[in-house]
Amino acid sequence: MSVDAATVKKIASLARIAITDEEVAKIAPELDNILGWIEQLGEVDCTGVEPMTAVIANTLRLRDDVVTDGGKRDAVLANAPQAEHGFFTVPKVIE
Amino acid sequence: MPPASGSRSALRAFFRWSKPVTDLTDLGVRELRDGIRAGTFSAREVADSFIVAVSKAKQLNAFLVETPDHAVAAAKEADAARAAGETLKPLAGVPIGMKDLFCTKGVQSAAASHILEGFKPEYESTVSQKLWDAGAGMLGKLNMDQFAMGSSNETSYFGNVISPWRRADGGNAPLAPGGSSGGSSASIAARLCPAATGTDTGGSIRQPAAFTGISGIKPTYGRCSRWGIIAFASSLDQAGPMARDVRDCAIMLEAMSGFDAKDSTSLQLDVPKWEAGLNASLAGKRIGIPKEYRVDGMPAEIEALWQQGIDWVKDAGAEVVEVSLPHTKYALPAYYIIAPAEASSNLARYDGVRYGLRDLPEGANLQEMYAATRAAGFGAEVKRRILIGTYVLSAGFYDAYYTQAQKVRTLIARDFDRAWETCDLLLTPTAPSAAFALGEKSADPIAMYLNDVFTVPSSLAGLPAMSVPGGLDKSGLPLGLQVIGKALDEQGVLDACLAIEERAGFRARPEAWW
């Protein structure tokens, strides 16, 4: 398979990264090259092999369902590019 | 200069007599810790010496932010505790460098990216907090590959780190300090700090350590909490120390490790006394040499160093056996599916809303703001990996790429399990070459990725692995040997590296030109 310009534009859109046609022209062959190299994985016989879910056997811990944190509104907003009235603000989304 | 190999009393007499402040930067973590405890020198003198060294080394571009006040405060606390007759903390008054991937409260933590430029966390990462609790002070935040994606420190938004090492050919070509922990490696090799934190996703502690003639250990996945470490690939990311010798790494690792309820993959285990347990005798140990690591095109000098390492561990009492890790060649392609897939997911949080950069073109809607922010805020390599990750996770490709890679990862881990039936540790080179020049590989992503051929398999299996300097190549550049251990056997890894360190007698250091 090969990665063409349309594919790059589609995945850039999925990834929410604005991309120019010049960048597409540069990135398409790079991705094609990398994905071509990655495709050698297809030759490994993985019949009956489970995909790895944890490198070190570990159980997920449970804790009591109680509030352990909170009351940090100002700290949460401290690094926001724009915050008003105790909220994150974004461009208008509803017309 | 202080006496090169003098006894402690000679050292103490020397310092009492002349107090040559700058020479304290030649000391490692243990020497500084013990000297402060003994009153041979004050913690303040130590902090001041390193602060001066950092301030003079701008050309290396190893530090993104300098925090002399932090280091001085820790020093004052250590000196006051000693004056009051209190027992000093494990790292009291030892100043260290902090990789920019760690969130440090009130101090810019940008992962060397533009999108997080100016981000000052309201909280402290668990690992850095543990180091401060142990009495260490921070000299500053260390440059790195952007979001830890790179093997040469050429992807930082804030410019390349220049290795303090130069080839002996008189050409003075600026060399890569390795990556992604390139600020850490360069600053330790240049004596700007005695130790630093690193993080390792596919080799980012071990390869830069090898390139700069220092030591660095990636512990078992889960030993060090990932909480507050800016995430790259969560199933692989693991913090670890970098320092000039094995004992210093053991001291640092003890301070950095330990259970943390805030990280769901943190191991609920006591931290072993690795420093006290150090033992350079390898009698009764079986060390495996994986035949698949003899890759095509490996320089003869690396081959020779590997053989030298085999002779050293034999001399230390180990039995050497050949082992096979048959899926080794698939580790890199599997890594370059899994790591970008996890990265594309982790980096989705940079949206221009909650922290960091916002790029809002005139009249743009929310979706356009996301796309513009991420286009402006991420570097080329980060975008490349997000795009690869998005592609391999996208509808129709998920099973062919991601599920297949996770199956291959199971086979790679199984290879190690089989090897442990006939050996206790593995010995390999750390990297397939010595440090390359900046710019030499940056045009070819795959050539850059191949640098991690020896470090990625143990990352995929979550195993502890360490790089220790073995010698110099014909250009006068350091080469490293890697020891890989069973899960949780950091002690075995440290011991084997100590045995190598004692026999290698690596004393080379870059001549100060900066």
Query: What tens digit of pLDDT does each residue of B38-75 get?
Result: 999 999 999 999 999 999 999 999 999 999 999 999 99
pLDDT value of residue B8: 52
Q: Which residues from chain A sit within 8 angstroms of residue B330, using beta carbons?
A: 40-41, 44
DSSP state of B170: S
- Token pair in block for residue B129: 């907090």
> Whose CA is closest to B319, among B364, B288, B298?
B288
Domain count, chain B: 1
A81 within a domain of the structure (yes/no): no
Residue partners of B151: CB distance under 8 A and separation at least 6: B145, B176, B178, B179, B180, B203, B204, B207, B448, B449, B451, B452
Q: Which residues from chain A sit within 8 angstroms of residue B123, using beta carbons?
A: 75
B265 within a domain of the structure (yes/no): yes
**Contact yes or no for B149/B182 (Cβ under 8 A):** no
Res. B475 pLDDT band, cuts 50 70 90: very high
Q: Average the pLDDT over B11-38 and give the result.
A: 76
A14 within a domain of the structure (yes/no): yes
B383 within a domain of the structure (yes/no): no
Q: Average the pLDDT over B473-493 and give the result.
A: 97
Looking up residue A38, the CATH number of its domain turns out to be 1.10.20
Q: Average the pLDDT over B209-221 and give the result.
A: 98
Residue A61 CB-density burial (10 A; 0-12 exposed, 13-18 middle, 19+ buried): exposed
- Token pair in block for residue B46: 């130590």
Q: Give me the interface pTM, i.e. the ipTM.
A: 0.96
Give, in order, the Cα–Cα distances in Å from B422 to each of B375, B417, B425.
50, 10, 10
Q: Average the pLDDT over B351-357 and give the result.
A: 96
- Helix B331-346 to helix B380-393 angle (10° resolution) is 100
B32 within a domain of the structure (yes/no): yes
Q: Which residues from chain B sit within 8 angstroms of residue A17, using beta carbons?
A: 371, 374-375, 378, 383, 386-387
Q: Average the pLDDT over B322-345 and give the result.
A: 97
pLDDT value of residue B21: 43
pLDDT (tens digit per residue) in B269-313: 999 999 999 999 999 999 999 999 998 888 899 999 999 999 999
pLDDT value of residue A1: 54
DSSP state of B511: P
Higher pLDDT, B12 or B366: B366
Above 60 in pLDDT, residue B4?
Answer: no
Beta pairing class for B286-290 and B319-323: parallel
> Whose CA is closest to B62, among B159, B174, B195?
B159
Looking up residue B153, the CATH number of its domain turns out to be 3.90.1300.10
Sheet hosting strand B95-99, strand order edge to edge: B63-66, B137-142, B95-99, B195-200, B238-243, B215-218, B465-472, B478-485, B425-429, B286-290, B319-323
DSSP state of B410: H
A77 within a domain of the structure (yes/no): no
pLDDT value of residue B447: 81
Higher pLDDT, B22 or B27: B27
Partner-chain contact B337 A38, CB within 8 Å: yes
Q: How many Cα atoms within 13 Å fall on the side-chain side of residue B142? A: 31
Euclidean distance between CA atoms B366 and B335, whole angstroms: 33
Partner-chain contact A15 B374, CB within 8 Å: yes
Higher pLDDT, B170 or B377: B377
Domain residues for the domain of B112 are 25-277
Give, in order, the Cα–Cα distances in Å from B284 to each of B247, B313, B324.
22, 11, 21
Res. B442 pLDDT band, cuts 50 70 90: confident
| Cβ atoms within 10 Å of A94's Cβ, excluding its own | 3
Partner-chain contact B351 A50, CB within 8 Å: no
**Prior bond to B180 cis, omega within 30?**
yes
Does any CB of chain A come closer than 8 Å to the CB of residue B378? Answer: yes
Q: Which helix (H) or strand (E) holds B479?
A: strand B478-485
Q: What percent of chain B has pLDDT over 70?
A: 96
Partner-chain contact A44 B371, CB within 8 Å: no
Euclidean distance between CA atoms B505 and B508, whole angstroms: 9
Res. B5 pLDDT band, cuts 50 70 90: very low
Residues of chain A with pLDDT under 50: none
CB nearest to B405's CB, from A3, A16, A41 = A41
Composition of chain B by helix, strand, coil, percent to 5: 40, 15, 45
At residue B139, φ and ψ (nearest 5 deg) are -85, -25
Residue partners of B399: CB distance under 8 A and separation at least 6: none
pLDDT (tens digit per residue) in B70-97: 999 999 999 999 999 999 999 999 999 9
- Token pair in block for residue B481: 């040997």
Across chain B, mean pLDDT equals 94
Domain count, chain A: 1
Q: What pTM was computed for the model?
A: 0.95
At residue B205, φ and ψ (nearest 5 deg) are -95, -45
Q: Give the sign of the dihedral formed by CA B233, CA B234, CA B237, CA B239.
A: positive
Q: What letter represents residue B461's amino acid?
A: A
Partner-chain contact A17 B353, CB within 8 Å: no
Give, in order, the Cα–Cα distances in Å from B38 to each of B6, B44, B94, B236, B375.
16, 14, 14, 40, 54
A19 within a domain of the structure (yes/no): yes
**Contact yes or no for B288/B426 (Cβ under 8 A):** yes
DSSP symbols for A33-91: HHHHHHGGGGGS--TTPPPPS-SS--PPP---SS------HHHHHTT-SSEETTEE--S
pLDDT value of residue B465: 98
At residue B64, φ and ψ (nearest 5 deg) are -90, -35
- Residue pointed to by tokens 């401060």: B132
Does any CB of chain B come closer than 8 Å to the CB of residue A40? Answer: yes
pLDDT value of residue B11: 52
Euclidean distance between CA atoms B356 and B119, whole angstroms: 6
Domain residues for the domain of A29 are 5-43
**Contact yes or no for B338/B405 (Cβ under 8 A):** yes
B485 within a domain of the structure (yes/no): no
**CA-atom Rg of chain B in angstroms:** 22
DSSP state of B399: I
pLDDT value of residue B81: 98
Which one of B200, B351, B388, B459 would you mutate to disrupt binding with A, by most A Cβ within 10 Å of its Cβ?
Answer: B388
Residues of B designated as active site: 99, 180, 204
Q: How far is A35 from chain B (nearest CA, A)?
A: 8
Q: Which residues of A21-33 are buried (b: 16+ CB within 10 A; e: fewer)?
A: eebbeebbebbbe
DSSP state of B472: E
- Token pair in block for residue A83: 């915050």
Widest CA span of chain A, in angstroms? 58
**Contact yes or no for B375/A16 (Cβ under 8 A):** no
